Amino acid sequence: MSFLFGATVLFAANFRAIGLVVFAVILIGFIALFVRNVFEAKAELGSEVELAANRLEYLSDEELETTKLDRSLTFALVILTICAVVLPFYWLGEPGRQEGAIETLDATFVRRGEALYTGGAQCVNCHGGGGVGGVAAYVYQDADGQFLGNAAWNAPALNNVLHRYSDEEVSYVLNFGRPGSPMAAWGTPGGGPLTSQQVEYLIYYLRTLQVQNLDPIEIAAAGTDDPLDAESVLALEAADELIEDIRAEVDRSLEDGEFGSIGEAVFNLGLYSGYRAGSLSCARCHTSGWSLGPSMVPNLLDDGIAACGGGDPSGIGFSLCGGIKERFPDDTWKHPSGRWLDESLSEGVEFVYAMDSTEIPLDEKGNAITDRTDADGNPVPYTIVENGDLADCLYYSELWEPGEIAANAYPFDGRVPLVLAEEDQVEGVTGVFVDPPRIEPAALQAEFDGETITLEDRRVGAGCTLIEMPPRTSNAHYNFIFNGANQGEGYGRGGQSGAGMMPGFGGLLPPDLLQAVIDYEREEIEQR
């Protein structure tokens, strides 16, 4: 009992100590045995035949088979018991010991990373202490190498870089740098001085610098009933602060007249203020010269330049002008609150939101349906008007050919009186069929005029009510900006990521700002 108690106390104190004690006991035992053996000469085999005068007589057979055997076996049992009891205890402590070892190793890696960051590799000169971002000196030249000026190139904040990129992607930048920008290739694969081990040290160090990201927002959105633990609460608060801070910067830039819309402000976040050294902007990679700032390149926001990438100086310089909607076709309506018909949910989704937040039911094929059924009991689909709004018309005409119209076009469905010409309205008389006014071919493109609607397939609808839907947009586009690109993987329709350098912004920008920047891309940049 007392042995167990003592063992428990020791267990709590230090497993390694137990191991060491056991080892010491065994060692001392062996030494004692050895010493005894050396000093106590034993009878040699066969010596009993004729024992020399200076030799001790060895144990008799009787003694050997009783006392001696018993003692040896007891000793073996004791050793065995010690091993059997102590070893499991030692193993119990093993995970803890390993964790400890990893921690020590991590701390060493972080220390070495920090030494590189602030010393050896001088990252700190450009990216600032603690990775808050800074600027890099840059000599701005024109295409012919003519000196244009000494400029400062935004060196993005790195205290959020691991929320935007995976470790592998950051290694890639460290190894190969950003050709065309002051960020040199640091790793041996790109011809730089740092070994892959040192690049890893740097990433260990960068990990310790990361600010809060928005992940806990997802924890909260998951809506579990369990109360959050203290750590999650703190994380949530920090995430809220981050969002507040970003919104405050967006609002400030709009109030100061720097940008024309929220989307444009997010796309260019920090252009004038240097907010987070441009690390949350899109334009630093999608607008050439952006990172040099408006004093060097004053026309950064002009049509044909903003977001059009390419040219020098560019960093990445990937052009977004034209074709975004081909890459990411409209695939959903946007909820006015900024919430999404999430792709992961779209199977089995039962409704979409209208502009006024009413729920529009969907059939199993995803068509918006009214709450009425036709004569055969099938649900009546809404008609999707050109801009994405939904029309619910009581009657539709047959198909008609422009030019030989009215006769084929009316009456709708042949079932009901449609347009009653005013002069024909006689009190007490209903249901008079009249030819409606002739529809000119130009009217094909006509918008809903409050009563009739002209469909693309040349049918005409009447008795329509219109449901205003939020603008159509692309879920796939949203997911792309949320997650970023991975090296060699496809995205959207026909997109293929080169080095996986498109960051994921889901951890750093709240959904409504992401949506605003996507609207900006689809509605403004798309036109360029």
Q: By CB under 6 A, name the binding residues for ligand HEC.
A: 121-123, 125-127, 136, 153, 155-156, 158, 161, 170, 173-174, 178, 181-183, 186, 202, 279, 282, 284-286, 291, 315-316, 318, 320, 323-324, 327, 481, 485, 495, 497-498, 500-503, 505, 517, 521
| Helix 15-39 / helix 2-13 crossing angle, nearest 10 deg | 120
Nearer to ligand HEC, 414 or 498 (CB): 498
Q: What's the min distance (Å) between Cβ of 272 and ligand HEC?
A: 17
Q: What's the min distance (Å) between Cβ of 347 and ligand HEC?
A: 25
Q: What's the min distance (Å) between Cβ of 241 and ligand HEC?
A: 20
- 503 prior amide bond cis, ω within 30: no
Three-class SS state of 409: helix
Q: What's the min distance (Å) between Cβ of 295 and ligand HEC?
A: 17
Nearer to ligand HEC, 203 or 420 (CB): 203
How far is it, in rounded angstroms, from Cα 7 to Cα 13?
9
Question: What distances in angstroms separate CA 499 from CA 316, 450, 476, 494, one per listed residue?
Answer: 11, 52, 20, 16
Nearer to ligand HEC, 180 or 336 (CB): 180
Residue type, 388: G
* E-strand stretches of 300-389: 332-333, 351-353, 359-361, 369-373, 379-381, 383-384
Q: What's the min distance (Å) between Cβ of 33 and ligand HEC?
A: 59
Q: What's the min distance (Å) between Cβ of 108 and ligand HEC?
A: 18
Token digits of residue 27: 């060692």
Q: What's the min distance (Å) between Cβ of 216 and ligand HEC?
A: 21
Nearer to ligand HEC, 185 or 341 (CB): 185
Q: What's the min distance (Å) between Cβ of 102 and ligand HEC?
A: 23
Nearer to ligand HEC, 186 or 204 (CB): 186
Full 3-state SS string of 434-474: CCCCCCCHHHHHCCCCCCCEECCCCCEEEEEEEECCCCEEC
Which residue(s) pair with 361 in the sheet?
A: 351
Nearer to ligand HEC, 262 or 455 (CB): 262
Nearer to ligand HEC, 159 or 383 (CB): 159
Token digits of residue 253: 């830039």
How far is it, in rounded angstroms, from Cα 154 to Cα 182?
9
How far is it, in rounded angstroms, from Cα 248 to Cα 267?
15
Q: What's the min distance (Å) between Cβ of 492 and ligand HEC?
A: 6
Nearer to ligand HEC, 100 or 323 (CB): 323
DSSP 68-83: IHHHHHHHHHHHHHHH
How far is it, in rounded angstroms, from Cα 325 to Cα 9?
69
Neighbours of 356 (CB within 10 A): 8
Length of the chain: 528
Nearer to ligand HEC, 126 or 455 (CB): 126
